[in-house]
Amino acid sequence: MPTTIDSTRFGRIEVAPGSAIAFPQGLAGLDSRRFTLVARAADDAFLWLHSLEDPALALPVTDPRRFFAEFALAPAAPAGAAIYVTVRASERLEDFTANLRAPLVIVDGIGEQVLNEAPGAELRAPLFAGLAADAAAAERAA
């Protein structure tokens, strides 16, 4: 039987059985421990990690390998794990960042936020580095 949540961001959402993700150790700074992934479109680069306990809590996430070709996770994730990073959105695309330091590793409906000890795992890595560089160059030229 599907679960229904009345999301303050997306309205009424039916959550399919088996799509819940439990974070037994929780997520840094959040009270919720049960979430689901919500996609606005099938091919979206960004998903929402939506709480099943708090209808107002939804975090934008993405697979870091879509934006960071050199992304590495240390220690390595188990085989078959889905890996997501939280995204800090902004009014300007060039200001979007991803938290590569504390990715979410999900295996068989169980999630864990881990400390990524790989070199280059920044807390606020620019998602659109090219746009950020172009914006900085434009500001210097002005």
Alpha-carbon span 52 to 117, nearest angstrom: 30
* Paired tokens of 5: 């949540």
List C-alpha distances in Å: 50 to 9, 13, 62, 112, 138: 10, 10, 13, 15, 37
pTM (two decimals) = 0.89
Print the domain residue range for 85: 3-141
Instruction: Give the CATH number for residue 66.
Output: 2.30.290.10
Q: Which DSSP symbol is given to 94?
A: G
Dihedral sign computed on CA atoms, order 11, 17, 19, 21? positive
pLDDT of residue 93: 87
Tell me how many domains the chain contains. Answer: 1
pLDDT tens string, the chain, 142 residues long: the values are: 788 999 999 999 999 989 999 999 999 999 999 999 999 888 899 999 999 999 999 999 999 999 999 999 999 999 999 999 999 999 988 899 999 999 999 999 999 999 999 999 999 999 987 665 666 666 777 7
CA 50 to CA 73: how far, in whole Å?
Answer: 24
Alpha helices in the chain (DSSP H): 129-141
